[in-house]
Chains A and B, each alone.
Chain A
Amino acid sequence: MAVIPIYPGSSSFFPGDTPFGFYDQQIDFQTDADRVVTYCARRLGYPIMDVELQDLNFYTAFEEAVTTYGNELYAFKVRDNYLSIEGSLTSSNLNHELISPNFASVVRYTEQYGEEAGTGGNVTWYSGSLPLNPNQQTYDLKAWASSSASLIDGDSIEVKRVFFESPPAIVKFFDPYAGTGTGMMNMMDTFGWGNYSPAINFMLMPISFDLQKIQAIELNDQVRKSQFSFELINNNLRLFPIPRHGGSMQIQYIKMSERNSPISKTPSGSYVVTNVSNVNFSNPNYNEINSIGRSWVFDYTLAVCKEMLGYIRGKYTQVPIPGAETQLNQADLLSAATSEKEAQIARLREYFDETSRKALMERRADETNATLIELSAVPYPIYIG
């Protein structure tokens, strides 16, 4: 006749009595373990009624309650600080760290705007040299990219810049043959400097003169010359005017695979925080949980014990007694345990949320406004000087 003992009215905790042993070596946990057993057993009816649990069941519930408390606490910390934590190193345990907000994630999230504007981001702009053929107006950049841009299969390019422009006016600024009508050479000959290099000008001219001259050159080109332009549709490049001579033209492009890649270039790898699961929080130290937290832990332990007892008493809906069958209170236990656990979790989350950075700042602002309103009711003294 096997006899499985139930709670006899006392217990004695030893390290190793919990399933995971997270807190077994912590002095306060060892001390509180047996007190929690007594508390829960009495709340469940002992010594008036038997409680079909063993001390190991109570210890298991106690460990679960402490772990749940830590999970809720640090999950709240993650929620409140994830923008500042994401991308940080996983090697640093954050349990005892004061977390300061930073812009790292915000900057990383917004790099894409600079990337499209060509002013930043993580996508490389590559330069390429497109051979131009005499009298060929249209060029297939897809074909060029497949042979010249070192693309992987399925990849393509997006052209960001085409260097097909008229020569800037500054190129002709010193050109003695530009014929812009300024009479510079005549003037230099007049002063006896005609034999010097045409790009050297010893005469100090006002800057407004240079600017007007540049504008004159540009206006001259616009009126008298063909305009340099291009169309770029579906990576087919059409040049205006049609090149009459061979040569090459520079373009800048990005690889679509690099822009489409959701993987951040920096930081990256297994040593940085990439999601909430690898934020380096560990189980709490029970010794450091204050009385408010421990009170929650005790009540949650009781709820877990009720749940366990409910499942034990509810394995068989009908329990045989001599000549009949009876029902135990498993339904009441499970119902109470479920609602109590939910209420405890909700209470804890509400408590934590009230201490979030946002909530604290809002409260601070409310207090400030209230203070100002109250101070405004104080009569202002009138100074007569």
Chain B
Amino acid sequence: MALFGGARDISMFRGLNRELMGDIIVQECAVYKFKLEETNVNIYGEAAEEKYYEAPVLFNVLIDRQDQNYPDSDIGINFEWGISFKFLRDDLVDAEVVPQIGDIVWYENGYYEVDNIIANQQFVGKDPDYPNKDDRGINPLGNYDLQNFGYEVSIIAETIYVPADKVGISQERLITSIKDVRKR
């Protein structure tokens, strides 16, 4: 039986994180979730025509900005800017948003395409979604309540800047949960 990282502790962490990210630091970004089912793809898996996205969902995040780069190429000078958006996973769960590669993040009127997802920050090294129970609902080591211990803290979306004309997104009303949109 685990002792540390129980549900009460995690609840406090969640509150602290939301206070820290929502009331103290307050960095925000919006996620445009890619709508795969409405996007036509060609035989190479590329979008043949327009890409479609869900309405932008606004989140409090922690943001790591890399330095901007201006590399030379045959067609001129490019602009590169990599940014990591660190989401509190619980916020994503509440909003029913699962960041994936290809999604677009809107941040300070710029668009950033997700090219990598990192989801490996576990408190006390456990994910409560994996209590390791068999078909009888029994953990053979006697750890019967592992579903109440551990915490998947964050999902980090590493992105690269994409010009607005390339993604072709027009800004819409920001929402806080895809779930709310679907209810409407």
A296-316 interface mask toward B, CB cutoff 8 Å, 1 = contact, 0 = none? 000000000000000010011
Q: Among residues 285 to 335 in chain A, which have CB atoms less than 8 Å away from a CB atom of chain B?
A: 312, 315-316, 319-324, 326, 328
Name the contact of B121 in the complex, choosing from A4, A315, A320, A328 (C-beta under 8 A).
A320
Which B residues are in CB contact (< 8 Å) with A4? 7-8, 11-12
Query: For residue B61, which residue of chain A has the nearest CB?
Result: A322
Contact check, B62 vs A321: say whether CB atoms are below 8 A apart. yes
The answer to whether residues A319 and B156 also contact, given A1-B93, A2-B7, A49-B19 and a CB cut-off of 8 A, is no
| Residue A3, interface by CB 8 Å | yes
In the assembled complex, the CB of A56 is this many whole angstroms from the nearest CB of chain B, namely: 14
B153 touches A320 (CB 8 A): yes
Q: Within 8 Å CB of B155, what residues of A?
A: 322
User: What separation, in Å, do the CA atoms of A326 and B17 have in the docked complex?
Assistant: 10
**Nearest Cβ in chain A — how far from B171, in angstroms?**
25
Q: Which single member of B8, B11, B154 contacts A322 (CB below 8 Å)?
A: B154
Residue interface bits B98-124, CB-to-A below 8 A is 1, else 0: 000000000000000000000001010
Q: Are B64 and A323 in contact (CB under 8 A)?
A: yes
| B88 touches which of A319, A322, A326 (Cβ 8 Å) | A322
Choose among B4, B15, B20, B23 the residue that contacts A52 (Cβ–Cβ < 8 A): B15
Task: Report whether B11 and A3 are in contact in the complex, using a CB–CB cutoff of 8 Å.
Answer: yes
Beta-carbon contacts under 8 Å, B51-110 to A: 61-62, 64, 84, 86-90, 93
The SS class assigned to the A binding surface is loop
Taking A315-B9, A321-B153, A322-B88 as contacts, is the C-beta distance between A6 and B15 under 8 angstroms?
yes
- Nearest chain B CB to A327's CB is how many angstroms away? 11
Which of B9, B17, B23, B84 is A321 in contact with, Cβ under 8 Å? B17
Whether B162 is near chain A, meaning CB under 8 Å from some CB there, is no
Overall SS of chain B's interface: helix
Q: How many A-B residue pairs have CB under 8 A?
A: 70
Hey, which chain B residues are within 8 Å of A328, CB to CB? 16
* B156/A322 in contact, CB under 8 A: yes
Closest to A316 in B: B9
Number of interface residues of A (CB under 8 A): 19
CB-CB under 8 A from B11, the residues of chain A are 2-4
Write out the residue numbers on chain A whose beta carbons fall within 8 Å of the beta carbon of B160: none
Q: Tell me if B175 counts as interface (CB < 8 A to partner A).
A: no
Given contacts A322-B61, A322-B62, A322-B86, contact A312 B12 (CB under 8 A): yes
Chain A residues, CB < 8 A from B15 = 6, 50, 52
In the complex the two chains form, is A326's CB within 8 Å of B13's CB? no
- Inter-chain contact B13/A319, CB cutoff 8 Å: yes
Q: Which of these, A2, A316, A319, A323, contacts B8 with CB under 8 Å?
A: A2
Q: Looking at the assembled complex, report how far the CB atom of A18 sits from the nearest CB atom of chain B, in whole angstroms.
A: 21
Min CB–CB distance B140 → chain A (angstroms): 25
Indicate if the CB atoms of B151 and A323 lie closer than 8 Å.
no
User: A320 with B151: in contact, given A1-B90, A328-B16 (CB under 8 Å)?
Assistant: yes
List 28 A–B pairs whose Cβ atoms lie within 8 Å, in order of A's numbering. A1-B14, A1-B90, A2-B148, A3-B11, A3-B14, A4-B11, A6-B15, A50-B19, A50-B23, A52-B15, A312-B12, A315-B9, A319-B16, A320-B13, A320-B123, A320-B151, A320-B153, A321-B20, A321-B62, A322-B17, A322-B62, A322-B86, A322-B87, A322-B89, A322-B154, A322-B155, A323-B86, A324-B86
